[in-house]
């Protein structure tokens, strides 16, 4: 038990995490490519045309994984931020910082593909649906986190302030989600109801799951690449970085 604990904390040091991340990145890229290609193949060529929505529904193979990842990444980001705050491990805070842009990208992608899907299906780029609205607010939360970190010059203070913001955000996300949901049901006669989606064909589900895995692997690969860059930038005064860059 004691031995394993030491092993875990070994990678809490930037110096030992940097090469580990470097070794993991190609694997995650490979996994992302495999899942992505098979997922795209299923979603474009195997999955049947939807009876009600035609070919336009195929955007959900990007939209749904992006939405899932945008929510999941916020949780992971808050987890690393909280860990960094509690244990004062520098790599945890760097992980949180490196995840934020990918999370924001996923939220933006989800909003954008949602608009592309909404125009042919609902006849509107945007409706004030509960899910759309809460996704938009999640996007704002990511932007706030990134803006706060960017505005503070001292990286240690930026880490800690960002961690508190991420944790406050995590407490608030369920409150925001349910308040938006109730607000929506109060205001809107149910013209559009996402919950009554027609049951999905088996192949569609497979395509979506593969795409979700591809997005997941991509997010990990990109976050690890970014965390390596952050490590180099912050540890540039140390000897090992000078050797690593050479």
Partner 1 sequence: MNAFFATVRRDLLLAMRRKSEVLTAVFFFVIVTSLFPLGIGPEPVLLKKIAPGILWVAALLATLLGLPRLFAADHVDGTLEQMALSPSPLGLLVAGKILAHWLLCGLPLVLLAPVLGLQFDLDASALGILTLALLLGTPLLSLIGAIGAALTLGVRGGGVLLALLILPLYIPALIFGAGAVEAHIAGLEVGGHLSLLAAMLVLAAFFAPWATTAALRIALE
Residue ranges binding partner 1 (CB under 8 A): 137, 140-141, 143-144, 147-148, 151-153, 156-157, 160-161, 164-165, 167-169, 171-172, 175-176, 179-180, 182-183, 186
Least CB distance to partner 1 at residue 181 (A): 10
Phi-psi region of 135 (alpha: psi -120 to 50; beta: other; left: phi over 0): alpha
Least CB distance to partner 1 at residue 198 (A): 30
Least CB distance to partner 1 at residue 106 (A): 17
141/213 with CB nearer partner 1: 141
Least CB distance to partner 1 at residue 160 (A): 4
Single out the residue of 15, 112, 81, 64 nearest to residue 214, CA to CA.
64
108/200 with CB nearer partner 1: 108
Query: Phi, psi at residue 50, to the nearest 5°?
Result: -70, 140
CB-side neighbour CA atoms (13 Å) of 107: 24
Three-state DSSP class for residue 54 = strand
13/172 with CB nearer partner 1: 172
Contacts of 215 (CB under 8 A, 6+ apart): 32, 65, 66, 68, 69, 106
56/155 with CB nearer partner 1: 155
141/220 with CB nearer partner 1: 141
Least CB distance to partner 1 at residue 34 (A): 37
**Distance separating alpha carbons of residues 40 and 62, to the nearest angstrom:** 9
Least CB distance to partner 1 at residue 86 (A): 11
16/179 with CB nearer partner 1: 179
**Distance separating alpha carbons of residues 167 and 83, to the nearest angstrom:** 11
43/149 with CB nearer partner 1: 149
Least CB distance to partner 1 at residue 182 (A): 7
Handedness of CA 212, 214, 220, 222 (dihedral sign): negative
CA distances for 153 relative to 45, 143, 223, angstroms: 50, 17, 22
**Distance separating alpha carbons of residues 168 and 13, to the nearest angstrom:** 27
């Amino acid at each position: 038990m004691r031995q394993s604990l030491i092993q875990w904390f070994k990678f809490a040091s930037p110096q030992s995490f940097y090469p580990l991340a470097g070794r993991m990145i190609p694997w995650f890229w490979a996994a992302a490519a495999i899942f992505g290609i098979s997922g795209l193949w299923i979603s474009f060529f195997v999955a049947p045309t939807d009876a009600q929505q035609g070919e336009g529904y195929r955007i959900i193979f990007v939209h749904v994984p992006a939405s899932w990842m945008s929510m999941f990444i916020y949780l992971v980001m808050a987890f690393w931020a909280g860990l960094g705050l509690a244990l004062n491990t520098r790599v945890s805070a760097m992980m949180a910082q490196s995840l934020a842009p990918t999370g924001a990208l996923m939220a933006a992608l989800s909003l954008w593909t949602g608009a592309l899907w909404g125009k042919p299906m609902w006849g509107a780029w945007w409706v004030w649906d509960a899910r759309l609205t809460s996704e938009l607010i999640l996007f704002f939360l990511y932007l706030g986190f990134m803006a706060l970190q960017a505005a503070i010059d001292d990286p240690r203070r930026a880490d800690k302030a960002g961690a508190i913001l991420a944790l406050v955000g995590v407490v608030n996300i369920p409150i925001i989600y349910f308040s938006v949901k109730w607000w929506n049901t109060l205001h809107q006669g149910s013209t559009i109801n996402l919950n009554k989606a027609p049951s999905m064909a088996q192949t569609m589900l497979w395509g979506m799951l593969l795409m979700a895995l591809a997005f997941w692997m991509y997010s990990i690969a990109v976050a690890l690449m970014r965390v390596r860059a952050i490590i180099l930038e912050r540890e540039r005064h140390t000897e090992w970085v000078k050797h690593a860059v050479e």
